[in-house]
Amino acid sequence: MVKVFKTNITDKKLAKEFLKSIHLNFRSYKANFDLEDCDNILRIESFSSEICNDCIINLITEKGYYAEELPD
């Protein structure tokens, strides 16, 4: 399963911090950012569990940033 999120995260250092947080909180998720994309994409992949969209969005919005899931 893969989920794609549009974000307003543009800083590489900040993106790395979010990736660390995602990997610590959701060990079965593989995540990466594509900051070259106009939507500053966050991709999350998981083979062993359902991806919790709300959890990811909350993790980002708690730090004052924006994220929304993009449709398939």
What is the model's pLDDT at position 20? Answer: 97
Query: What pTM was computed for the model?
Result: 0.93
Residue 72 has pLDDT above 80, yes or no: no
Domains and CATH numbers, the chain: 2-69 (3.30.70.100)
Contact (Cβ atoms closer than 8 angstroms) between residue 30 and residue 61: no
CA distance 56 to 46: 13
Residue bearing tokens 């980002």 = 60
Distance of alpha carbon 50 from alpha carbon 20, whole angstroms: 19
pLDDT tens-digit profile of 16-53?
999 999 999 999 999 999 999 999 999 999 988 899 99
Handedness of CA 48, 25, 42, 31 (dihedral sign): negative
